[in-house]
């Protein structure tokens, strides 16, 4: 076998291979996602975190205080349930890992894990090891990924459509090219679940410890697995929030289905999971997309949309509508308004996970009801299952102070979640669409 090129100096642009389809194309066997001829790969400077640095509408003192608060817990501390010094200190603990990687190569205009893939620690060049058949190689990779800390692992084909058109440069506050080695064929998607009880406190600083720990643990797993693959003589590019979009790869790799909240809903953790990706040229068997009723459930359930504080989640049907420049162009799907979401985060001084907390798939599946519920949600009885689930109120926000003090896993409720009013909500929406159409058809005076 020919020697593979693992020399980072010879990296070349690779994202321009992405092409829009001639006609609308179903993505990953999904009824709810279509790629249209207007498709364009995403431009990272347009994501809300980048816009927080360069876009005059968002780059302001409050946003800077929001960013700073992840290293300075006193910045947004206040006398409010879930926002005390204790809560911010808890959230910021695991963030130190992610921050360290982001700062490590700052002098070279690299923010590993945010805008750039993790800088590789290259082992001596070796001949690619014999991994057996692609099925055997995939089995080994999954075993090692789990050993290194992954909760879910899926493998799919490299798809240049999900590579950013350009990355964001924090130094120049503009774009910079995406550089990837040639010859990538596969993507290993690693899922790290977030703590169930912690996410139940969203939207507070205490709850944000869930994503903070997820990022930190994900980083160590990604680095370890990438190094394992390089030591076997293959390419491995470890990516987190950088370089490419996580959700399409997670769906393509069979880890879950696309939900109204814009997230990948997994069978074992619902949307309460983070995804890292390793791009590689190791010959691996690919997984198939899965379906367990999420698409059908999302069409009648709007719990995430009802419980989104700034109302950033679409109540309607999948479409190519873009709320603003932070939405990808030419993909028919459920879309969220990132501007509204980000403004809410900044105003509160921490991130939010209400669309994760309130999702009926966000459950502790070690218990009996969640297992029954998941089965029912895959059948025409899903409406009944959702009604029962509403009654059980597992999706209410719990009080951070009771989480700190509870020793038996029982918590006080801070706020009751808004249930999905099913048809009433749909009816209101249909009435509004009818009203708009009627007005449009009215003859001019």
- Answer yes or no whether residue 279 interacts with ligand SF4 by CB under 6 A: no
Given 221, 297, 326, 350, the residue binding ligand SF4 (CB under 6 A)? 297
Name the minimum Å distance from CB 85 to ligand SF4: 23
Checking DSSP bridges between strand 413-415 and strand 397-398, what pairing results, if any?
antiparallel
Instruction: Kindly state the greatest CA–CA separation across the chain.
Output: 79
- Answer yes or no whether residue 204 interacts with ligand SF4 by CB under 6 A: no
Closest to ligand SF4 by CB, 141 or 294 = 294
E strands of 31-98, at which residues? 34-40
Given 352, 373, 414, 417, the residue binding ligand SF4 (CB under 6 A)? 352
- Answer yes or no whether residue 298 interacts with ligand SF4 by CB under 6 A: yes
3-state SS assignment for residue 393: coil
Q: Would you say 220 and 227 are in contact if contact means Cβ atoms under 8 Å apart?
A: no
- Answer yes or no whether residue 309 interacts with ligand SF4 by CB under 6 A: yes
- Answer yes or no whether residue 214 interacts with ligand SF4 by CB under 6 A: no
All residues at 6 or more sequence positions from 16 whose CB lies less than 8 Å from its CB, including other chains: 160
Q: What span, in angstroms and rounded, lies between the C-alpha atoms of 151 and 159? A: 23
Per-residue string for binding with ligand SF4, 240-269, x by CB under 6 A?
-------------------xxx--------
Q: What span, in angstroms and rounded, lies between the C-alpha atoms of 444 and 40? A: 38
Name the minimum Å distance from CB 387 to ligand SF4: 13
Closest to ligand SF4 by CB, 302 or 399 = 302
Interhelix angle for 382-392 vs 368-377, to 10°? 150
Name the minimum Å distance from CB 311 to ligand SF4: 8
Integer CA distances (angstroms), 74 to 61, 88, 89, in order? 16, 8, 9
Give the CA angle between residues 317, 318, 323 to the nearest 5°: 100
Closest to ligand SF4 by CB, 73 or 259 = 259
Closest to ligand SF4 by CB, 222 or 346 = 346
Number of residues forming the site for ligand SF4 (CB under 6 A): 25
Given 229, 355, 376, 417, the residue binding ligand SF4 (CB under 6 A)? 355
Name the minimum Å distance from CB 424 to ligand SF4: 15
Closest to ligand SF4 by CB, 32 or 281 = 32
Name the minimum Å distance from CB 207 to ligand SF4: 11
Name the minimum Å distance from CB 16 to ligand SF4: 32
Q: Would you say 258 and 342 are in contact if contact means Cβ atoms under 8 Å apart?
A: no
Closest to ligand SF4 by CB, 118 or 361 = 361
- Answer yes or no whether residue 313 interacts with ligand SF4 by CB under 6 A: yes
- Answer yes or no whether residue 341 interacts with ligand SF4 by CB under 6 A: yes
Helices (H), 253-362: 294-300, 303-306, 338-348, 354-357
Given 48, 180, 198, 308, the residue binding ligand SF4 (CB under 6 A)? 308
Interhelix angle for 85-104 vs 209-231, to 10°? 30
Closest to ligand SF4 by CB, 217 or 296 = 296
Beta bridge partners of residue 174, listed in sequence order: 169
- Answer yes or no whether residue 30 interacts with ligand SF4 by CB under 6 A: no
**Of 140, 94, 120, 75, residue with least CA distance to 223:** 120
**Of 318, 22, 39, residue with least CA distance to 162:** 39
Q: Which residues are at the interface with ligand SF4 (CB under 6 A)?
A: 259-261, 297-298, 301-304, 308-310, 312-313, 336, 341, 344, 352-355, 358-361
């Amino acid at each position: 076998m020919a020697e593979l090129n693992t020399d980072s100096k010879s990296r070349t642009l690779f994202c321009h291979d992405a092409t829009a389809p001639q006609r609308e194309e179903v993505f990953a066997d999904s009824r709810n996602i279509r790629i249209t001829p207007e498709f364009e790969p995403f431009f990272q400077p347009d994501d809300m975190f980048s816009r927080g640095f360069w876009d005059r509408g968002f780059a302001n003192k409050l946003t800077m205080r929001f960013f700073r608060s992840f290293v300075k817990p006193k910045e947004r501390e206040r006398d409010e349930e879930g926002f005390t010094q204790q809560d911010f200190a808890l959230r910021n603990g695991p963030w130190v890992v992610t921050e360290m990687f982001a700062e490590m190569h700052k002098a070279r205009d690299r923010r590993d894990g945010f805008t750039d893939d993790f800088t590789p620690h290259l082992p001596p060049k070796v001949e690619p090891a014999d991994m057996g058949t692609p099925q055997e190689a995939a089995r080994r990779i999954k075993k090692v990924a789990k050993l290194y800390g992954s909760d879910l692992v899926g493998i799919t084909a490299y798809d240049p459509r999900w590579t950013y058109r350009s990355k964001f440069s924090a130094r120049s506050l503009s774009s910079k090219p995406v550089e990837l080695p040639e010859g990538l064929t596969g993507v290993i998607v690693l899922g790290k679940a977030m703590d169930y009880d912690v996410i139940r406190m969203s939207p507070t600083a205490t709850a944000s410890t869930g994503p903070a720990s997820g990022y930190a643990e994900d980083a160590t797993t990604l680095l370890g697995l990438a190094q394992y693959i390089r030591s076997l003589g293959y390419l491995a590019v470890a990516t987190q929030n950088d370089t490419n979009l996580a959700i399409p790869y997670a769906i393509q790799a069979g880890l879950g289905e696309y939900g109204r909240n814009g997230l990948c809903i997994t069978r074992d953790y619902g949307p309460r999971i983070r995804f890292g990706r390793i791009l590689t040229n190791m010959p691996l068997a690919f997984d198939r997309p899965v379906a367990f009723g999420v698409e059908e459930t999302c069409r009648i359930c709007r719990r995430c949309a009802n419980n989104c504080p700034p109302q950033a989640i679409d109540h309607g049907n999948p479409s190519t509508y873009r709320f603003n420049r932070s939405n990808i162009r030419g993909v028919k799907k459920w879309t969220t308004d990132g501007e509204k979401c980000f403004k809410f985060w900044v105003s509160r001084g921490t991130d939010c996970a209400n669309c994760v907390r309130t999702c009926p798939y966000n459950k502790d599946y070690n218990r009996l009801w969640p297992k029954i519920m998941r089965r029912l949600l895959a059948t025409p009885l899903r409406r009944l299952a959702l009604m029962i689930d509403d009654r059980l109120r597992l999706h209410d926000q719990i009080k951070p102070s009771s989480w700190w003090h509870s020793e038996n896993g029982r918590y006080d409720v801070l706020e009751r979640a808004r249930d999905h009013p099913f048809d009433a909500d749909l009816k209101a929406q249909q009435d509004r669409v009818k009203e708009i159409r009627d007005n449009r058809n009215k003859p001019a005076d």
